Chain A
Amino acid sequence: MMWAGVLVACASCYALKLAGLSLPASVLQDPRVQRTVPLVPVALLAALVATQTFSTGHHLVLDVRAAALAVAIAAVLLRAPFLVVVASAAATAALLRLL
């Protein structure tokens, strides 16, 4: 099941890339498409941040992950590299659990 999902997702992502290079430009240059598509990653990434920080299963929770996110936000504002942002968040959660 995992493999099927992984492979279908890979095929979908490749199809989207190929479609961009292959479809007539008029289809994808439609103003509705041009306006809407860049908003999708913004909304999805924000929803991923929110759900993966403030929930476990179907429950809303406030735990060390919120502190880890605060540290990640500070790291982003300081223009830290990607790996530093991720590692500082993980280290914060690990340290707070040790206390």
Chain B
Amino acid sequence: MQIRRSVIRDALGIGIATGAYALSFGAISTAAGLSLLQTCALSVLMFTGASQFALVGVVGAGGSVWAGAATAALLGSRNALYGVRLSSLLERSGWKRAAAAHFVIDETTAMSIARDSVPESRLAFWATGAAVFTLWNLGTLIGALATHALPDPKVLGFDAAPPAAFLALLAPRLRAREPMAIALGAGVVALVCLPFVPAGVPLLIVAVLVAIFGIVRSRG
């Protein structure tokens, strides 16, 4: 009972934290030119933070929505690996699995695999998923509505917000030397190609190069 309560308390804590960060997603998405409905649709249907920020970031910087969509999908590839780790912990029945898939994100994976037994992992997964989903969408709506009322988002520094959001998402992944080197290399490569290719394409070039790097490295 006590464990149950602590799982739910942790889930709410994470939900509130991500809700606060959804405020900035709603604001950035609206400032990038997406409608209120499109912004909310991303949080309901895509429901994976980094991909959502990437799509609206690319659109806001003048790239095509298709370049943004490709970047979002590439960033979403890590969720497939989370699924592998969660697969043995979650329900196997068809519709529950299809519903669970929507909740496979950074936060639910971290909370679920940290638990000691399958029932606790399952509870942590669903409680975290429900809390984050609810507050993520609420935060998005509030952030988008607040920004809708503003005359010129650039005056308030909204164009400087997306890089800070990407940085905050990146920082926890930089705890070793190799990811740090990859991050610096990726930044330089993207800036070098930027003048010569359509907007958003530097990101795809970076993705291809890092994939080649990863495959070559895992052989040796």
Q: B-contacting residues of A (Cβ < 8 Å)?
A: 1-10, 12-14, 16-23, 25, 28-29, 31-55, 57-60, 64-65, 68-69, 72-73, 75-76, 81-83, 85-95, 97
Which of A7, A58, A69 is the one whose CB lies under 8 Å from B195?
A58
Chain B interface size, as a band, is 35 or more
Q: Are B157 and A91 in contact (CB under 8 A)?
A: yes
User: Main SS of chain A's interface residues?
Assistant: helix
User: In this complex, what residue of B is CB-closest to A72?
Assistant: B164
Q: Are B158 and A36 in contact (CB under 8 A)?
A: no
CB contact under 8 A between A44 and B104, given known A21-B90, A38-B78, A39-B179? no
B199 at the interface (CB under 8 A from A): yes
Q: Which residues of A contact B215 (CB under 8 A)?
A: 32, 35-36
Q: Are A94 and B155 in contact (CB under 8 A)?
A: yes
CB contact under 8 A between A41 and B50, given known A60-B191, A72-B168, A91-B157? yes
Measured CA separation A13–B102 after assembly (Å): 9
Q: Find the residue from B21, B84, B209, B213 having the highest chain A CB count within 10 A.
A: B84
Measured CA separation A54–B159 after assembly (Å): 12
Measured CA separation A39–B80 after assembly (Å): 14
Measured CA separation A81–B164 after assembly (Å): 12
Q: Are A47 and B189 in contact (CB under 8 A)?
A: yes
Q: Find the residue from A16, A58, A76 having the highest chain B CB count within 10 A.
A: A16
Q: A-contacting residues of B (Cβ < 8 Å)?
A: 17, 20-21, 23-24, 34-35, 38, 41-42, 45-48, 50-51, 54-55, 57-59, 61-62, 64-66, 68-69, 71-84, 86-87, 90, 97-98, 100-102, 104-105, 155-171, 173-174, 179, 182-191, 194-196, 199, 202-203, 206-207, 209-211, 213-215, 217-219
